[in-house]
Amino acid sequence: MCGIVGQVRLDGQAADAVAVERARERLAHRGPDDAGAWAEGPAAFGFRRLAILDLENGHQPMHGADGRYTIVFNGEIYNHPALKAELDSRGDRARTRADTETILRLFARDGSESLSRLEGMFGLAVWDAKKHELTLARDPLGVKPLYYHFDGTRLSFASELRALTALLPRVELDPAGVMDYLSYGFVHAPRTVLAAALKLPPGHRLVLNAHGLRVEAFWEIPRRPPWEAHHHHAGTDPSLPEAEAEVETRLIGAVRGQLLSDVPVGAFLSGGLDSSLITALMARAAGKVKTFSIGFSGARAGLDESMHARTAARYLGTDHHELILPADVLSRLEDLSAALDEPIADSAILPTLLLARFARKEVKVVLTGEGADELFAGYGRYKAAYLSEQVSRLPGWGRGLAAAVARRLGKGPLFHALPHEDLAAWARANAHTTPEQADPLLTAEFKRRAGRGDAFEWLKDWEGPHSLSAAQSFDLRTVLGDCLLMKADKATMCAGLEARVPFLDRRLVEYALHLPASAKIRRLKGKFILRRIAAKYLPKPLVWRRKHGFIVPWEEWVRAPKNPALDALLTDEALKPWGVFDPVHLRALRANLQAGTPGADPGIMFRAAVLSLWCQSV
């Protein structure tokens, strides 16, 4: 796990190696163990290393045996031992035990087609000196980020947006990206909040050579999987016991593979089903596990889950470590600023950073439970989609009756809206803040500039029926790939800690996405098949208790009568240089929230505060 940066030029000029090294140092937190730089003619790479595998020989940039290929790589390849053995069997012995060299050797043999064989998380760059060709790639689920800028002759890239800004001709906001952020709390790839920067989408490669630049997918989350009603054929689905055995086998394999490390590995343990199951499988594979969780002092019921984590830790016999945070943790904005590489209005990012710093004292790697909800239908909105799918299969009179009953119960959308509604339209309607709601808070100049671009352009890819399978694919690609995984990456890497996500092993993802809805939701209980598996490893109360998110009281924070940290973000000095918000109107919203005025939206206040904080930290 590391930080990478680089620049390649097409105009015959030398890359700016000094600027690349300057950008590299903005990634020092991602790689405190080593630094590397390389420049040759039109190409220059920089690297910061967090040493996990082959601690002595994993220095980057790394060059191939014949000098043709040079790589910088951020991530981990979990099937590296098998790939290395395959390559070694052909008589070409490796010089190191590093997975970086395995990627390089595969690339030399198969070119960018080798990307489809890599099981793991990665953001990488490979320079082909013979063809004068650059390849960038990002892992299939988007666990690791990769940003870039291209001006027609010069391409710059980096693992983090703030490192890339050192290589940009200018740093200014993209109005469409800002509107996307205000609507959802994050920005959807390939757009970023900056006008000159793009984010490589998950599962995509970028190829740059004398013919120009192309960006293409090498793996994509299926948008219309075969279990949809119009593709479904009775008898083709696996039985529940067959599916359960296959999911368990693949998950065990993913956990075992992700224990690959030459340094200590632990687990984030929230006490929920997902992280507890990962920890249980780790304990089966590797013995006593170090686990880390968060508790809140003086917390109200529903906020603190630390007692559930302690229960799971005792049952599994882990070496458990607990960090107790104050309930007003959001007041520590100076800490949040360090992890806020791109604006992400997820209040859990700050506790995640503090937990990562706490865990980093004991381990260099943790396994986490991200992805299980999206794969196995853990969110409440999936139950609505599931119910509506069942209703949509009824004859016409049955659908009409169900709709009438639903309207009578005040649950119309639950039964009759979703099956007939376009997924893109649903996503637009469910934005946290609409452009119309944001309008009063924005400056006239920003609104004029924002009118030139469509903040919802990314939704064009999601037009089609809104079903359970489509909703899961949508969340995997958008909410998970562009928000939750980016939050986890920025928070953990800010602490120099590598986070791994076994549920997002591509082989498990591909199988889980093709399971019928009945394997995921039973009696309106999500993650049904996962709970059956977990029951073999965990106590029953933990397996079947209701889902509980990682809650931080951000609404109370923006409503607090006295909040110097928030008020400092709403001054003319903080807001006017970026020209997005009208300071007078934003402070009026703050006053309305303090006074409890009906209709005052705490969500847009929180997103505005995070954006203001981010602007000050760039």
The DSSP H or E segment spanning 88 is helix 80-88
Helix (H, G, I), strand (E, B) or coil at 383: helix
As a whole number of angstroms, the distance between CA 168 and CA 152 comes to 13
- What pairs with residue 422 in β-bridges? 465
CA triplet 584, 586, 588: central angle to 5 degrees?
Answer: 70
- What pairs with residue 74 in β-bridges? 123
Contacts of 429 (CB under 8 A, 6+ apart): none
Cβ contact 280:379 at 8 Å: no
As a whole number of angstroms, the distance between CA 607 and CA 173 comes to 15
Is 494 annotated in the active site?
A: no
Q: Which of 2, 483, 494, 615 is the catalytic position?
A: 2
As a whole number of angstroms, the distance between CA 528 and CA 521 comes to 5
Contacts of 23 (CB under 8 A, 6+ apart): 5, 46, 156, 158, 163, 164, 166, 167
Contacts of 190 (CB under 8 A, 6+ apart): 198, 199, 200, 201, 215
Listing DSSP states for 288-340 in one string gives: S-EEEEEEEETPPTTT--HHHHHHHHHHHT-EEEEEEEETTGGG-HHHHHHH-
As a whole number of angstroms, the distance between CA 491 and CA 348 comes to 10
As a whole number of angstroms, the distance between CA 14 and CA 275 comes to 48
Residues marked as catalytic: 2
